[in-house]
A and B are shown apart, each in its own frame.
Chain A
Amino acid sequence: MASSSMFGPNNPGAFWTGGPAPGQFYNFPGSQSTSAQNSSQRTLYPVVTGTSVLGVQFEGGVVMAADMLGSYGSLARFRDCPRLLKVNDTTVLGAAGDYADFQYLSNVIQQQVIDEECLNDGFGYTPKSLHCWLTRVLYNRRSQFNPLWNTYIVAGIDDEKPFLGYVDKIGMAYEAPSLACGFGAYLALPIIRDAMEKNPTMTQDEAVALIDRCMKLLFYRDARSLNKYQVAVITKAGVDIRGPIKSETNWEVAHMIKGYE
């Protein structure tokens, strides 16, 4: 409450009885008093989102793909969002879900990579260590009820062996020879798993062709996708991020469809 004892330049009086003095916060009557410090800001829902990310291991490396769309709900708002991050020459990180959380985490990771390079002790991020660190960070954030609303896929070469790992926003993590998050898990993973069963030791070209087939399929059937995607191929030789690639879609079937009954 404003004191109404002595008015002057250092103690301006309230504008009305019980009202605010200039420079004071005024708690409007009837509303809950939440000062900026007390109100918690937690992630409640994702805003700009990315859709699926696919990952496939082949003989001598890993290939990962993600399209370049940032959806604002059902609006295809940002058509130039790279969702693959090259961490170093052995690791690439792909993210689905909230784009802002991915950007925040990318900044953190890139700063840490710089710090490690400054230390100059020969150690750097391996895909396994990045996967492990991500799991702990995401699980911790979820335990604070403030998750980073993303699903990450970590791909790379670890100790001369290909590595592919998945981490969820609730901290669920696992490794597998083929991974997909989002709609890719329902649409692309059956195709990828079938192809890998028929051909367990794929070459790089076969794996990239498989990924291209699946990205085309996702563009056909995922309503929040875009026909513009990047592909990251990680081998012993290093990381090669190709893109943007546009699928050749075939709409010949449209001639066979007239009406609905």
Chain B
Amino acid sequence: MAAPCVEPAKGGFSFENCSRNARFEQMGLKFPKAYKTGTTIAGVIYKDGVVLGADTRATEDTVVADKNCAKIHYISDNIYCCGAGTAADTEMTTQMISGQLELHRLATGRAPRVCTANRLLKQMLFRYQGYIGAALVLGGVDSTGPNLYSIWPHGSTDKLPYVTMGSGSLAAMATFEDRFKPNMTKEEAMKLVRDAIAAGIFNDLGSGSNVDLCVITKDKVEYIRPHEIANAKGVKQGRYLYKRGTTATLSSDVKKIEFDVIGTEVKTSAQPMDTQ
């Protein structure tokens, strides 16, 4: 049997699918729309580590799809990543990189560095030329100290002391520019990130519900979900079911209903053998 001979890739990018997609579009095929999160995510470096924050609203256009989704994803024990943009993209991308980082950790025998996660993420996102709509805030503490990166869908990264992403990023960045200072205490940093996310929640329609925080230091990680329930569902003021006794009972009569046994069945709990 002759095996089909596959030519090895010449290297670089292959854009064959682009012409295929263009032909599909000409034929009238509608591509599925990507659902965005519409988010406020933010991160700040303080004296002992990193504080990451996120809102908890996931939107499908103008409808709130999930009132309390988790946008701070686990990458490794000392590295966490907030994701904005297409929800599936951020979830899957962070999970893939988390897996790759764990294999890397087992291969090297060292605790993973944040810059490694950054490299892995940006190399993957650049390969897909922005079609993976994941805008990420990556933060963690490793042997070099606290690190904070922002990663854009096309694959560019910035290493900064404070970053925000998502539709509410302008409101959150306004809060940071107003009040950030280097070497804050943990309480100041948590308050600042909480205020930045709250600015996004209350001033941006794509963000809402609660504030989640994640405080990463050299020794431990505090994943505080929720840090603050900023929008609680309203409590009904009255009970609208009628109380027992509202309608007067004139008389009561108890009758036994006769059942007819039609058949019985005995079910075995163990699985039958494959030979049968």
Partner of A193, one of B45, B161, B195, B203: B203
Note all chain B residues with C-beta closer than 8 A to A220.
Answer: 177
Chain A residue at smallest Cβ distance from B119: A261
Check B182–A191 contact: CB distance below 8 A: no
Check B161–A253 contact: CB distance below 8 A: yes
Check A261–B174 contact: CB distance below 8 A: no
B contact face: mostly helix, strand, loop, or mixed: helix
Note all chain B residues with C-beta closer than 8 A to A194.
Answer: 195, 198-199
Identify which of residues 175-189 in chain B touch chain A, using a CB-to-CB cut-off of 8 Å. Answer: 175, 177-178, 180, 182
Check B177–A190 contact: CB distance below 8 A: no
Partner of B171, one of A190, A256, A259: A190
CA distance A253 to B44 in the complex (A): 13
Check B170–A186 contact: CB distance below 8 A: yes
Check B149–A190 contact: CB distance below 8 A: no
Check B161–A257 contact: CB distance below 8 A: yes
Report A32 CB to chain B, min CB distance, Å: 33
Q: How large is the interface on A (under 10, 10 to 19, 20 to 34, 35 or more residues)?
A: 20 to 34
Say if the beta carbon of B173 comes within 8 Å of chain A: yes
Say if the beta carbon of B217 comes within 8 Å of chain A: no
Say if the beta carbon of B160 comes within 8 Å of chain A: yes
A contact face: mostly helix, strand, loop, or mixed: helix
Partner of B173, one of A189, A221, A260, A261: A221
Question: How many residues of chain B have a CB within 8 Å of chain A?
Answer: 27
Note all chain A residues with C-beta closer than 8 A to B180.
Answer: 253
Partner of B174, one of A190, A256, A259: A190
Note all chain A residues with C-beta closer than 8 A to B202.
Answer: 190, 193
Say if the beta carbon of A2 comes within 8 Å of chain B: no
Check A217–B177 contact: CB distance below 8 A: yes
Query: Measuring CB to CB, which residues of chain A are less than 8 angstroms from any residue of chain B?
Result: 183, 186-191, 193-194, 213, 217, 220-221, 252-253, 256-261
Can you identify 27 A-B contacts, CB atoms within 8 angstroms? Answer: A183-B170, A186-B170, A186-B174, A186-B203, A187-B173, A188-B174, A189-B203, A190-B199, A190-B202, A191-B175, A217-B178, A220-B177, A221-B173, A221-B174, A252-B182, A253-B161, A253-B180, A256-B182, A257-B160, A259-B159, A260-B156, A260-B157, A260-B158, A261-B115, A261-B119, A261-B149, A261-B157
